[in-house]
Structure 1
């Protein structure tokens, strides 16, 4: 996926950075080993954090500040990492979707970065990460119409398709062999990306049979 960050987004959010994994994967129900790892991580986080701890976590705090700078309420439109951590602290489980998405969620709750995965064949042309304009919306996954105005959103030639809060249905990951682009959204720079990349690649190979994995960092 050829991707860039808009000048406006970089200026409003100086820590904005992306790490993009491109690979082929066999998308299917998560194996029991991945579910066990995800459940163990959820249990550990539930005992580790309280609700008042979450806004103090570096990546959650930086993402909240970025949303504020972009003109979007970070509490009305929580980023996915924070939303999942809040569910965990409350004692609620996360939904098991498929192996690719479950790995997204595992990385996200472990690091505080939101992660989105997209079917590359559903995308067209150069992708740009930019501030969504006034009145922008799309049909979200598991939602009807999602108000995405002012959210830091990925656009291709067909329009908006993903952001750190909720993705559109257009490029959602479905069962089968697919080319996938997984995006780690950061507002804290890229200094932790190398460590995360190693862990992410190992999970993709082990639980998704991922091949031809390519990793790029954009900031």
Structure 2
């Protein structure tokens, strides 16, 4: 499976990069230990952040800038990292989904990067990050018929399946032993991707016994 970024994306927003982790894991509810860590981080972030401070996070800033450059309103279609942080400071917390999605979300709220995790068995062929076509929609996770036009979006041979705002149902992470790719969407270069990919990998290994995690920066 080759993963790439389209020339169109590069020409519009040259600092676009992807951090990709590939691994096999048993998907299940998060452990008590990880859930406690997750909730402790949420408590700290709720005290640390304000709406104004969220918008100063460099990774959130660059994602918003990329959306605008690609022709999508960053206010109307917030990236996932920003949307989750806004929930936290409003006291709404975050849902617990499963161990993989919870790690995904923990890294996202602590870094400011939006991240998607995908079941590779539901994908076909090579993957490319593209600017989604006009009037394109897909069925999102918990949200039907999402307008994804002009968002930076991952495609395989079957079509669009993920972006920094909301992923499709097709490759969503469900229970059981799965082969997974987790993708960190970066729009301000790749300088911090190694660090956050290592953090993600450490959670997988320390809390859920994942032995092998392959890491690639694109």
TM-score bracket for this pair, using the shorter chain length: over 0.9
The alpha carbon displacement at 1:195 in A equals: 1.3
Q: How far apart, CA to CA, are the structure 1 residues paired with 2:20 and 2:129?
A: 12
- SS of residue matched to 1:116: strand
User: In structure 2, what is the equivalent of residue 42 of structure 1?
Assistant: 42
The alpha carbon displacement at 1:18 in A equals: 0.2
- SS of residue matched to 1:182: strand
CA deviations over 1:184-209 (Å, ceiling 9, x no partner): 00001100112112211110112332
The alpha carbon displacement at 1:52 in A equals: 1.3
User: In structure 2, what is the equivalent of residue 185 of structure 1?
Assistant: 185
The alpha carbon displacement at 1:91 in A equals: 1.1
The alpha carbon displacement at 1:138 in A equals: 0.3
- SS of residue matched to 2:25: strand
1:118 aligns with 2:115: no
- SS of residue matched to 2:200: helix
* Gap regions ≥5 residues in structure 2: none
CA deviations over 1:150-186 (Å, ceiling 9, x no partner): 0000000000000000000000000000000000000
- SS of residue matched to 1:214: strand
Q: How far apart, CA to CA, are the structure 2 residues paired with 1:11 and 1:107?
A: 28
Q: How far apart, CA to CA, are the structure 1 residues paired with 2:190 and 2:205?
A: 23
1:89 aligns with 2:97: no
Q: How far apart, CA to CA, are the structure 2 residues paired with 1:127 and 1:51?
A: 34
- Normalised by the length of structure 2, the TM-score is 0.98
User: In structure 1, what is the equivalent of residue 144 of structure 2?
Assistant: 144
User: In structure 1, what is the equivalent of residue 78 of structure 2?
Assistant: 78
Equivalent residue runs for 1:1-219 within 5 Å: 1-218=1-218
Divergent runs of 4+, >3 A: none
| Maintained 8 Å contact 1:99/1:207 | no
- Normalised by the length of structure 1, the TM-score is 0.98
Q: How far apart, CA to CA, are the structure 1 residues paired with 2:58 and 2:205?
A: 29
- Across the two proteins, how many residue pairs are aligned to each other? 218
| Maintained 8 Å contact 1:26/1:209 | no
Q: How far apart, CA to CA, are the structure 1 residues paired with 2:84 and 2:131?
A: 23
* Between 199-208 and 121-130, the greater mean CA deviation after superposition: 199-208
- SS of residue matched to 2:177: strand
